[in-house]
Amino acid sequence: MRRRQTRNKKDIGIKVIPIGGLNEIGKNMTLLECQDEILIIDCGMSFPDDEMFGIDIVIPDFSYLMANKEKIVGMVLTHGHEDHIGAIPYLLKNINIPVFGTRLTLGLVGNKLKEHNVIGDLRTVIPGEKFKLGKNFEVEPIRTTHSIADAVCLSVNTPAGIVFHSGDFKVDYTPVDGEPIDFSKLAELGKEGVTLMLCDSTNAVRPGFTASEKVVGQTIESIFRTAKDRIIIATFSSNVHRVQRIIENAVKVGRKVAVSGRSMENVVALAIELGYLDIPAGTLVDLRTARNIPDDKLVIITTGSQGEPMSALSRIATGDHKAIKLKKGDMVILSSTPIPGNEKTVSNVVNRLFEKGAEVIYSDIADIHVSGHACQEELKLLHSLIRPKFFMPVHGEYRHLIQHSHIAESLGLSKDNIFVLDNGDILNVKRDKAHIDRNQIEADAILVDGLGVGDVGNIVLRDRKMLSESGLIIATAAIDRFGGILVSGPEIISRGFVYVRENEALIEEAKQVVKDTIEKCLENNIKEWGSMKAKVRESLSSYIFQTTKRNPIILPIFLEV
């Protein structure tokens, strides 16, 4: 009897289903499914790539969850960065499930839900304290270090054994809050036996170790000591540790601190409320009264270190910021490195700041930022502690996942036990075996444009791309098809093609081409709208291409009169 039970239990498998975060940076979301229960880990957003014209943000595809609502036992969060919590409001609008996270993480989620007018069932967890979810999952959040406070990795006990999810992490032996990774717990897990590890791959191509946040603190201190006038320092609002370091160093050199930028104000307020920021009384001043403070006694912390066009720092750089006008002698610090794709935008802001006479310190010229993600030696450390039977690299582009696989192999894990998945694949895991089923569930990038979620698809994006490249030309006419008469028009209207006032001859000739084509159609009794439009499109686009070597969208619009 007992033996049978054991065998049965051994046979219960789980499915690991990545909906986002594989072959991309961002929109991290993974499901653990066992029998009739689904546990969700994280629910992040990502930023649109260059081809996603007009898109605000990108979120994971919730179709599988919508079809399996009743199975969901809850969502567990690893930390409060946008790429892990940013899509939660979009999910909670449709499904009411409990969301588990540490205090700061849930604080950030709460702010986000408020913005979206969504109510959430948020439940605080404590690192080291296990909790059950459904009948199949027991979750233990474990303290880890990352570029945001209160980050955890997750140990999930399942019928197929322990699944360990690293979350995002780096190994910081000297974190700002004095709370390093719970190594003993990780070692214990490794000893107990972990069936599957999912691990952050963001920095898997970087050799060595990521430097401690402490290094940035030292750079900040030395820069603060040399500054003669006002200091303006930009960083990610969610990097509460960095903000803490900035404030500590401001205090050290006898300066007050003001905060600018909505998200920075919100996060600082939240972090103070929850006790994640330790600010001596009298240090924080209101930005509006900051003008009464001498320049050499003030530090302004702000957002926009990625050059975001509407951010406080961009507005300071262009002179559009209401409260902060740049002066010669100001020192501006960008405490960040550009996220891939943002390099040019950041350089533009730096150039504008220099032009305004500020001294600008940025990542090219000082160690003013450290990554939040583990480099190769740190990954090896985690692998060596956890010693999982199976390994699945997560959080990264394909090149990162492949490189992470190589690292796991180099540590002795068999190639057969390493699983590189794509979003929408399923990894079937039992205690002693695992295999991938490819392409099982829908896991597309869902594009959010204004209020529309998912209504901008490939056709609309293709049109936007074509419009952006050569604009469009509209040829319009009122036609009496019955009488075979061109009643009014044709009119030629263009947008994004050429500046019409300087190209009247071209437009006149185009008009003539359209007129001739319509009249020929009517003569030859071609009166079906589709055929007429095709003829006009053909003759006009060929005329335009010959004269300009451009390919605008050609849009014939005919009205029956």
Is 373 among the residues known to form the active site? yes
Q: Which helix (H) or strand (E) holds 156?
A: strand 152-158
Is 406 among the residues known to form the active site? no
| Span from 68-76, 159-167, 430-438, 472-480 in contact with a copy of itself (CB under 8 A) | 472-480
What the block records as the tokens of 403 is 């490189």
Q: Which helix (H) or strand (E) holds 119?
A: none
Question: Please, what is the minimum distance in Å from the beta carbon of residue 497 to a copy of itself?
Answer: 7
Q: Is 555 in the site for a copy of itself (CB under 8 A)?
A: yes
Residue labelled with tokens 């007018």 = 117
Q: What is the pattern of x (binds a copy of itself, CB under 8 A) and - over residues 16-55?
A: -------x-------------------------xx--xx-
**From 476, 526, 533, 534, residue interacting with a copy of itself (rule: CB under 8 A):** 476
Q: What is the pattern of x (binds a copy of itself, CB under 8 A) and - over residues 165-204?
A: ----------------------------------------
| Span from 85-93, 101-109, 458-466, 529-537 in contact with a copy of itself (CB under 8 A) | 458-466
Site for a copy of itself in 354-373 (CB under 8 A): 354-355, 360, 364-365
Q: Is 453 in the site for a copy of itself (CB under 8 A)?
A: no
Pairing of the two strands 256-260 and 446-449: unpaired
DSSP secondary structure letters along 204-240: TTS-S-PPPHHHHHHHHHHHHHH--S-EEEE--TT-H
Q: Are 121 and 96 in contact (CB under 8 A)?
A: yes
Q: Is 550 in the site for a copy of itself (CB under 8 A)?
A: yes
Nearest Cα residue to 553 out of 540, 389, 561, 183: 540
Q: Is 450 in the site for a copy of itself (CB under 8 A)?
A: yes
Q: Is 489 in the site for a copy of itself (CB under 8 A)?
A: yes
Residue 215, judged by CB atoms within 10 A of its CB (0-12, 13-18, 19+), counts as middle
| Span from 4-12, 110-118, 378-386, 474-482 in contact with a copy of itself (CB under 8 A) | 474-482
Question: Please, what is the minimum distance in Å from the beta carbon of residue 350 to a copy of itself?
Answer: 5
- Classified as helix, coil or strand, 30 is strand
Q: Are 232 and 333 in contact (CB under 8 A)?
A: yes
Q: Is 459 in the site for a copy of itself (CB under 8 A)?
A: yes
What the block records as the tokens of 431 is 């205690």
The CA-CA-CA angle for residues 249, 349, 333, to 5°, reads: 10
φ and ψ at residue 401, rounded to 5 degrees: -65, -40
Q: Is 502 in the site for a copy of itself (CB under 8 A)?
A: yes
Q: Are 446 and 453 in contact (CB under 8 A)?
A: yes
Site for a copy of itself in 388-417 (CB under 8 A): 397-399, 402-403
How does DSSP classify residue 22? Answer: B
- Output the CA–CA distances (angstroms, integers) from residue 300 to 87, 250, 293, 305, 416, in the order listed: 30, 10, 11, 13, 53
Question: Please, what is the minimum distance in Å from the beta carbon of residue 422 to a copy of itself?
Answer: 9
Q: What is the 3-state secondary structure (H, E, C) of 489-501?
A: EEEEEEECCCCHH
| Span from 83-91, 283-291, 487-495, 524-532 in contact with a copy of itself (CB under 8 A) | 487-495
Q: Please state, in angstroms and rounded to a whole number, the distance separating the CA atoms of residues 415 and 123.
A: 39
Q: Is 491 in the site for a copy of itself (CB under 8 A)?
A: yes
Nearest Cα residue to 41 out of 147, 202, 167, 194: 167
| Span from 155-163, 239-247, 311-319, 468-476 in contact with a copy of itself (CB under 8 A) | 468-476
Total of chain residues touching a copy of itself, rule CB under 8 A: 69
Q: Is 62 in the site for a copy of itself (CB under 8 A)?
A: no
Nearer to a copy of itself, 211 or 478 (CB): 478
Among residues 241, 373, 395, 400, the one annotated as catalytic is: 373
Among residues 61, 150, 182, 200, the one annotated as catalytic is: 200
Q: What is the pattern of x (binds a copy of itself, CB under 8 A) and - over residues 320-359?
A: --------------------xx-xx--x--xx--xx----
Q: Is 293 in the site for a copy of itself (CB under 8 A)?
A: no
The CA-CA-CA angle for residues 406, 407, 410, to 5°, reads: 85
Nearer to a copy of itself, 25 or 152 (CB): 25
Q: Please state, in angstroms and rounded to a whole number, the distance separating the CA atoms of residues 473 and 459.
A: 19
Q: Are 547 and 473 in contact (CB under 8 A)?
A: no
The CA-CA-CA angle for residues 422, 452, 238, to 5°, reads: 65
| Span from 37-45, 154-162, 177-185, 484-492 in contact with a copy of itself (CB under 8 A) | 484-492
Q: Is 518 in the site for a copy of itself (CB under 8 A)?
A: no
Taking only Cα atoms into account, the Rg of the chain, rounded to an integer number of angstroms, comes to 29
Q: Are 382 and 407 in contact (CB under 8 A)?
A: no
Question: Please, what is the minimum distance in Å from the beta carbon of residue 525 to a copy of itself?
Answer: 21
Q: Which helix (H) or strand (E) holds 302?
A: strand 298-302
Q: Is 553 in the site for a copy of itself (CB under 8 A)?
A: yes
Interface ranges with a copy of itself (CB under 8 A):
23, 49-50, 53-54, 205-206, 340-341, 343-344, 347, 350-351, 354-355, 360, 364-365, 397-399, 402-403, 449-452, 455-457, 459-461, 463-465, 467-472, 474, 476-478, 487-489, 491, 493, 495-499, 502-503, 547-550, 553, 555, 557, 559-561
Q: Which residues are catalytic?
A: 200, 373
